[in-house]
Amino acid sequence: MPAGKLRLNSLAGSALSILVTLFGLLVLTFVIGRMMPADPVRAIVGEDATREVYENVYRQLGFDKPLWQQFMLYMRDVLTLNFGTSIRTGQPILQDIARVLPATIELATFAIIIGAGVGVPLGVIAAVNKDRWPDQVIRIISLLGNSMPIFWTGMIALLIFYAGLGWVGGSGRMSQFYIGMVPERTNFLLIDSVLAGQWDVFWSAINHIILPALLLGYSSAAFITRMTRSFMLDQINQEYITTARVKGLSRRQTIWRHAFGNIRVQLVTIVALAYGALLEGAVLIETVFAWPGFGQYLTSNLLIGDMNAVMTCVLIVGVIFIGLNILSDILYRVFDPRTR
């Protein structure tokens, strides 16, 4: 079969897979919204509303229709990006998410840079020194990172480094003094402060993000270290590594050029999944640090039973993971010519 036709078939298969995944995600979010014990109508009208008011809103939301019709209406709203209005803020839900998601992206991006920058080298060092003291120390550090509850480490870190030593900023994205000084162009505070030339706000934001990012990064680094060590041990035990050493290559060249070169594709997947997990799972750290991000928005709406907002957040998380998987596939082709 010609290469062009193979490439076309591959793209068609990928597109079909993405569409099926998105449809499954829509079904999942719809089912979650209908199975949750919270009553979205009661959340809108309040506890003191009359039966007549309740039934009017019930019909307006389409809950009196068969489930298949409700799902078709839900699909229509999703395709037209009509996710409704948040009960808590009174603003369109998509507008709320566009406001809070950049805060979580900033935090998760700093965290994954720390996590991958620390976790990958430590994993390689642990594999190269298998069962020796560097390996033992790194494994203990990784175990602590996986075992300690992040909300507990967050509170302890705030007590020590903020309240005690004063090395970092406290809760929020910046000091209260600077709130409202920077126009919200992109909703990424670091970018907006640079665009506005407000360097005091920029450094205040850096001072506030560094501690939660380090804690999230440590948790992510523990996972990345463990996986990198496992991948490297598998490669080090291969015959081609022995052959490379026999040919006279140095230990450094053998480890970093050959063994590490062969695990880059696997690491792309691990780092992408870790980044997605940070975007999704920053709820506890955002709560501890009063970080006005996506996780805190999801939690607040879940507590008041705003199912439109909750379903939209779940859908956004699913789309993020699909996007990261697509990015991983693209990077596969960059790092591994055999997949092209």
Domain residue ranges in the chain: 3-79, 99-339
Ranges of residues in the chain whose predicted pLDDT is under 50: none
Residue 67 burial (C-beta neighbours within 10 Å; 0-12, 13-18, 19+)? exposed
Amino acid at site 56: N
Q: Which residues pair with 85 in a beta bridge?
A: 92
Instruction: For residues 75 and 68, give the distance between their C-alpha atoms in angstroms, rounded to a whole number.
Output: 11
pLDDT at position 42 is 67
SS3 content of the chain, % helix, strand, coil (to 5): 75, 0, 20
The CATH H-level superfamily of 99-339 is: MetI-like (1.10.3720.10)
3-class DSSP state of 124:
helix
- Would you state the structure tokens that stand for residue 21, as one six-digit string? 């995944």
Q: What string of DSSP letters covers 212-252? A: HHHHHHHHHHHHHHHHHHHHHHHHHTSHHHHHHHHTT--HH
Cβ-contact 304, 87 below 8 angstroms: yes
pLDDT at position 113 is 92
pLDDT at position 122 is 92
Q: What is the mean pLDDT of the chain?
A: 79
Instruction: For residues 49 and 36, give the distance between their C-alpha atoms in angstroms, rounded to a whole number.
Output: 21
Instruction: For residues 123 and 226, give the distance between their C-alpha atoms in angstroms, rounded to a whole number.
Output: 6
pLDDT at position 5 is 59
DSSP code for 185: S
